[in-house]
Structure formats: C-alpha cells, structure tokens
C-alpha cells in the first residue's frame, strides 16, 4: 500500500488553517494553529519548520509574529508538500534513472521502465492544489481585512 506519513497529512491540515487565517489578513502562531487543527503544539511546530525550510510558509518574528503562507493555497500543488516531507515522489527506488538505490540495478530487466509511471503520479499530484483539498475560498474571494488605526 502506498501511504503518506502522518506529518504529510498534518501539513495539509496546518496549511489549510493558515489559509483560513490569511483570508482574515493575519498571521497565525503555533498555539493558535494547534488549537484550530486539534494537533499538539510540538507537532505543529515541527510541521511548520519543514514547511518553512521548503519555502511553503514564512515565519515572522516579534510580538505579532507567527506564520503565513509563502503563496496562495491555490498556487501550492500537493506534490510540493509531499516532496517536502517524503522526498522524491516515486513508486520504486529507481527514481528517474537514479543510481545506488537497489542492489540489483545492474541486471534489472525493468530499470528505467518505471519512469513513465513515476512521472504520471507526480503529474497527477501536481494537478491538485492544497486549496482544493482544504476547500478554502480562493484568495481573491477573501474579504479585505479591516484597517485599524
């Protein structure tokens, strides 16, 4: 069975919550995201660290700090989130002609034959956005945040 890790699943949940927060024009802190998602704070912090390292979210320091999306949810393909947590998307160790992943690669009769299958899976995952999974309104539909003085 092909299955994603829990952290990858949690990343989609956290990104969805960030999308809702940004729709209101604000950043979100780890405790807020943990409460909204039902996940433990250390887990949310770990997920956000990986997402930040991958360039999918940005951390903002300071008293009003927190996290925000680096791009709109509709511009983040599912494939990028999966790669951030799982590494290259492939069904086999033979990732697009890679070397050293298998003890029988020198005599394998199907070496390189998985490439079209791996590419099809990557393309399918790239065709689904986090916004589609999260069922969030597109950024253009978000109400403009109220200005406070």
Rounded CA separation 79/17 (Å): 19
pLDDT of residue 90: 82
pTM of the model: 0.82
Element holding 60 (H helix, E strand): strand 57-60
Q: Is residue 132 part of a domain?
A: yes
Mean pLDDT for the chain overall: 85
Domain at 10, CATH number: 1.10.10.10
pLDDT reading at 147 higher than 60: no
> 47 lies in which domain range?
6-141
User: How many structural domains does the chain have?
Assistant: 1
| pLDDT tens-digit series, residues 23-37 | 767 899 999 999 999
147 within domain boundaries: no
User: Does residue 101 lie in a domain region?
Assistant: yes
Count Cβ atoms below 10 Å from residue 14 Cβ, excluding itself. Answer: 26
114 within domain boundaries: yes
Question: Is 96 within a domain?
Answer: yes
- The contacts of residue 143 (CB under 8 Å, 6+ apart) are 23, 24
Which residues are bridge partners to 69 per DSSP?
57
CA distance 95 to 73: 28
pLDDT at 125 over 90: yes
Instruction: Specify if 43 maps to a domain.
Output: yes
Where do we find the tokens 């700090």? 65
């Amino acid at each position: 069975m092909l299955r994603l890790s829990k952290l990858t699943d949690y990343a989609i949940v956290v990104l969805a919550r960030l999308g809702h927060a940004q729709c209101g024009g604000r950043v979100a802190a780890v405790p807020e995201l943990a409460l909204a998602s039902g996940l433990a704070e250390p887990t949310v912090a770990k997920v956000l660290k990986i997402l930040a390292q991958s360039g999918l979210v940005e951390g903002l320091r300071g008293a009003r700090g927190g996290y925000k999306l680096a791009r709109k949810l509709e511009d983040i393909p599912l494939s990028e989130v999966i790669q951030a947590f799982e590494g290259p998307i492939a069904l086999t160790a033979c990732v697009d002609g890679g070397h050293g992943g298998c003890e029988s690669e020198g005599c394998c009769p199907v070496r390189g034959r998985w490439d079209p299958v791996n590419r099809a899976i990557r393309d399918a995952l790239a065709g689904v956005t986090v916004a589609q999974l999260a069922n969030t309104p597109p950024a253009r539909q978000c109400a403009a945040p109220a200005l406070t003085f």
